[in-house]
């Protein structure tokens, strides 16, 4: 009988699943140690064996993938046996008397860097090949178990130390049932994706990769932020009844999606959807959104990389994506957020020095990256302009702190328009221009920003992170990440007041907008437009329809007068118990 274990973490969706664990190791822990001359033959033999084994793995993999990927895998086999590389690895080992995996890693990194220094964009995807080959050989040498994302058995629940947004997308497209991850908060982009796709997941589960093994059974109760490894028959009975409840709720939500988000005292709240991929735009209206308030374009870039398209999507690829969403949405709002790379969204295969920061959330992120990479940015702006003839598109810039960032973007836009005119391409002249308020700096200078934009949107995920100096992806400080902290409350209030003073429409599009328990706070603060993951919309409508605006305003007034976070939390909890007793996570 395997040991039953109950653990807790941070659930991302109100759903539950049951499946088989697959422990995913996405990077290989490299050890460095000294060897003697006598060890050399054995080290060389280990390398030769690892190369043979890696070839066998690739041949097996080829049987499960389509022909475009087979060509790449054939090339991997050729690169595996590259004599120049293998000779150099052996030479490095004998000269430095270090273990063979260290030598292999050093030599492969050297070639990776060499390619990086060649100014040829089409060589960029060689980085990923070299990295892939390096990881494969190293994991074979270290006998680490890597997982082929190409062949995931049905019913798999991925368990990993950490996971990138790109990994999440790939696994979701392979049909995994759930994720259990050691690190990460609920507003990390990996977590946001699991929510967008309604895949029951739990982040921040301490030591999970050591507490379970591949093929263990697991119940992922994302609804209650808990999981059970090797559940017994009672647990399975419970699982079934919770699942039935979830299905019942889903039925109720189908009805709610069609209703207006209107308070008991008749204030209508605008509800928009956040989307991460073009295909999501097919369903947003049926979930009850009146448009898209945030399209995170960077996932197009990350995803493209993994389907072996060019790493940076061309203007044409982007144009098609934006056009597809525009056509799906018709007359509805469509806000395209320009590229927000950096932070926890890095292009996995680009040379690390290009994009790696010591403090990624404080570094070369979002608008900063775009303004410094004019070609990349203009490619996106041109694509957006071209798609603007298909619907009412608005452009929104992420992480703006300076009015000069808006001015520079507008200049790029003008250049793009001139170019397009010369090329005989059409675009709309009525594109609205907005910025995300994601830093205290932006929040406190809304008056200056207002002169340059048509609308604002609050990126609360980042605003909270930057206000409280609390990494949104770090589960160890998640307990500090609290929207009720007076600093956040005051900033939100001042943003709402300034936006209204300068007559600029304001939306809130962070995860807070889809968090049931904070809706009374947001309405009480004066927000009248919210953008969230589509799956959250019906529940949020239910809450708005159960609230009186007047009560929410009194709640917020009282919260703003508290002296401690605990008092504020107590006020909200009491309010929820009294007015919204059906909320699960009160």
Residue 150 bears catalytic tag = no
Q: Which of 404, 483, 476 is nearest to 441 (CA)?
A: 404
Are 406 and 452 contacting, i.e. CB atoms less than 8 angstroms apart? Answer: yes
Mask for 389-428, x = binds Mg ion (CB under 5 A): ----------------------------------------
Q: Does 294 bind ligand PEP (CB under 6 A)?
A: yes
Could you say whether residue 460 binds ligand PEP (CB under 6 A)? yes
462 binds ligand PEP (CB under 6 A): yes
Nearer to ligand PEP, 323 or 337 (CB): 337
- DSSP letters, 365-393, are -HHHHHHH-HHHHHHHHHHHHHHTTSS-E
Q: Is residue 551 a contact residue for ligand PEP (CB under 6 A)?
A: no
DSSP H/E element including 67: helix 67-80
Q: Alpha helix (H) ranges present in 97-164?
A: 100-116, 124-141
Distance CA 98, CA 71 (A): 34
Interacting positions 330-349 with ligand PEP (CB under 6 A): 340
Q: Which stretch binds ligand PEP (CB under 6 A): 215-223, 378-386, 456-464, 550-558?
A: 456-464
List of residues 6+ apart from 86 with CB closer than 8 A = 47, 51
438 near ligand PEP, judged by CB under 6 A: yes
Instruction: Compute the least distance from the CB of residue 573 to ligand PEP, in Å.
Output: 24
H, E, C per residue of 86-102: HHHHHHHHHHHCECHHH
- Output phi, psi for 348, to 5 deg: -70, -25
Q: Is 293 in the site for ligand PEP (CB under 6 A)?
A: no
Give the whole-angstrom CA distance, residue 481 versus residue 353.
30
Q: Is 459 in the site for Mg ion (CB under 5 A)?
A: yes
Residue 485-524 contact track with ligand PEP, rule CB under 6 A, x = bound: ------------------------xx--------------
Structure tokens at 61: 């993999």
461 contributes a contact to ligand PEP by CB under 6 A:
yes
Residue with tokens 């990994």: 167
Query: By CB under 6 A, is residue 277 in contact with ligand PEP?
Result: no
Counting every residue written for the chain, the total comes to: 586
What is the distance between the alpha carbons of residues 200 and 190, in angstroms, rounded to a whole number?
A: 12
Q: Are 317 and 278 in contact (CB under 8 A)?
A: no
136, 479, 551 from 262: Cα distances, Å: 55, 32, 14
Q: Which stretch binds ligand PEP (CB under 6 A): 16-24, 256-264, 375-383, 455-463?
A: 455-463
By beta-carbon proximity to ligand PEP, the closer residue of 333 and 340 is 340
In the complex, the smallest distance separating the C-beta of residue 420 from ligand PEP, rounded to whole angstroms, is 28
Q: How far is the CB of 582 from ligand PEP (least distance, A)?
A: 26
Question: Which contiguous run of DSSP H or E holds residue 448?
Answer: helix 446-450
CA distances from 242 to 197, 235, 460 (A): 20, 10, 31
Which of 323/345 has CB closer to Mg ion?
345
Work out whether 209 is an interface residue with ligand PEP (CB under 6 A): no
- Other residues' Cβ atoms within 10 Å of the Cβ of residue 560: 14
Position 88 contacts Mg ion (CB under 5 A):
no
Q: Is 537 helix (H, G, I), strand (E, B) or coil?
A: helix
Stretch 427-446: interaction string toward Mg ion, x if CB under 5 A = -----------x--------
Options 43, 298, 462, 511; binder of Mg ion; rule CB under 5 A: 462
What phi and psi, each to the nearest 5 degrees, are found at residue 433? -125, 125
* From 212, 370, 416, 509, active-site residue: 509
Is 189 considered catalytic here?
yes
Binding segment (CB under 5 A) for Mg ion, from list 80-88, 236-244, 302-310, 451-459:
451-459
Q: Which CB sits closer to ligand PEP, 202 or 294?
A: 294
459 binds ligand PEP (CB under 6 A): yes
Residue 305 interacting entry, from ligand PEP, Mg ion, none, C-beta within 5 to 8 Å by type: none
Catalytic residue among 76, 189, 212, 370: 189
Per-position b or e across 105-132, b if 16+ CB within 10 A of its CB = bbbbeebbeebbeeeeeeebbbbbbbbb
> Nearest approach, Cβ of 5 to ligand PEP (angstroms)?
32
Which partner in Mg ion, ligand PEP, none is near 342 (CB below 5 to 8 A by kind)?
none
> Among residues 310 and 440, whose Cβ is nearest to ligand PEP?
440
CA distance 452 to 434: 8
Give Cα 364 to chain centroid, integer Å.
17
User: For residues 333 and 438, which CB has a smaller minimum distance to Mg ion in the complex?
Assistant: 438
Cα first-last separation, the chain: 36
Nearest to ligand PEP of 304, 461 (CB atom): 461
Nearest approach in angstroms of CB 273 to ligand PEP is 12
Contact footprint for Mg ion (CB under 5 A): 438, 459, 462
Interface residues toward ligand PEP, by CB under 6 A: 294, 296, 340, 438, 459-462, 509-510
**Residues annotated catalytic, as ranges:** 189, 509
């Amino acid at each position: 009988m395997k040991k039953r274990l109950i653990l807790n973490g941070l659930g991302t969706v109100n759903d539950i699943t049951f499946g088989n664990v697959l422990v995913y190791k996405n990077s290989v822990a490299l050890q460095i140690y000294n060897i003697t001359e006598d060890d050399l033959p054995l080290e060389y033999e280990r390398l030769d064996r690892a190369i043979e084994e890696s070839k066998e793995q690739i041949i097996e993999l080829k049987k499960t993938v389509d022909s475009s990927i087979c060509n790449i895998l054939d090339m991997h086999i050729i690169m595996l046996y590259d004599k120049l590389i293998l000779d150099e690895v052996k030479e490095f080992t004998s000269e430095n008397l270090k273990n063979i995996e260290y030598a292999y890693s050093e030599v492969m990194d050297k070639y990776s860097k060499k390619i990086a220094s060649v100014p040829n964009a089409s060589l960029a995807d060689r980085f990923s090949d070299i990295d892939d080959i390096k990881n494969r050989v190293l994991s074979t040498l270290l006998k680490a178990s890597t997982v082929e994302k190409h062949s995931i058995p049905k019913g798999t629940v991925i368990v990993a130390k950490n996971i990138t947004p790109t990994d999440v997308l790939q696994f979701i497209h392979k049909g995994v049932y759930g994720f259990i991850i050691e690190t990460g908060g609920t507003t990390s982009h990996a977590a946001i994706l699991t929510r967008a796709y309604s895949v029951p997941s739990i982040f921040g589960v301490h030591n999970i990769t050591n507490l379970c093994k591949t093929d263990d059974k697991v119940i992922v109760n994302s609804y209650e932020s808990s999981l059970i490894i090797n559940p017994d028959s009672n647990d399975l009975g419970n699982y079934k009844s919770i699942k039935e409840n979830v299905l019942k709720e889903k039925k109720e939500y189908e009805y709610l999606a069609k209703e207006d988000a209107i308070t008991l005292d008749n204030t209508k709240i605008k509800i928009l959807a956040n989307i991460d991929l073009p295909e999501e735009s097919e369903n947003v209206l049926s979930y009850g959104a009146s448009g898209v308030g945030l399209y995170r374009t960077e996932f197009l870039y990350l995803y493209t990389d993994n389907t072996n398209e060019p790493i940076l999507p061309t203007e044409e690829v982007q144009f098609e994506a934006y056009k597809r969403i525009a056509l799906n949405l018709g007359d509805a709002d469509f806000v395209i957020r320009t590229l927000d790379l950096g932070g926890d969204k890095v292009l996995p295969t680009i040379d690390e020095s290009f994009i790696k920061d010591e403090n990624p959330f404080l570094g070369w992120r979002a608008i900063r990256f775009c303004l410094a990479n004019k070609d990349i940015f203009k490619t996106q702006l041109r694509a957006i302009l071209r798609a603007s003839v298909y619907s009412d598109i608005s452009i929104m810039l992420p992480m703006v702190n300076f009015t000069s960032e808006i001015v520079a973007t507008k200049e790029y836009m003008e250049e793009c328009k001139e170019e397009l005119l010369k090329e005989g391409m059409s675009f709309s002249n009525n594109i609205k221009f907005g910025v995300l308020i994601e830093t205290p700096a932006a929040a406190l200078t809304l008056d200056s920003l207002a002169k340059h934009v048509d609308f604002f949107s609050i990126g609360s995920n980042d605003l909270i992170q930057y206000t409280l100096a609390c990494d949104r992806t770090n589960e160890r400080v998640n307990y500090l990440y609290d929207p009720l902290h007076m600093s956040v409350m005051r900033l939100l209030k001042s943003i709402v007041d300034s936006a209204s003073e300068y007559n600029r429409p304001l939306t809130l599009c962070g995860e807070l907008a889809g968090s049931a328990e904070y809706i009374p706070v947001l309405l009480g603060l004066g927000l009248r437009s919210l953008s969230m993951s589509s799956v959250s919309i019906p529940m949020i409508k239910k809450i708005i329809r159960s609230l009186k605006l007047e009560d929410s305003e009194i709640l917020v007034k009282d919260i703003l007068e508290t002296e401690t976070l605990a008092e504020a939390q107590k006020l909200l909890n009491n309010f929820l118990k009294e007015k919204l007793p059906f909320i699960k996570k009160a």
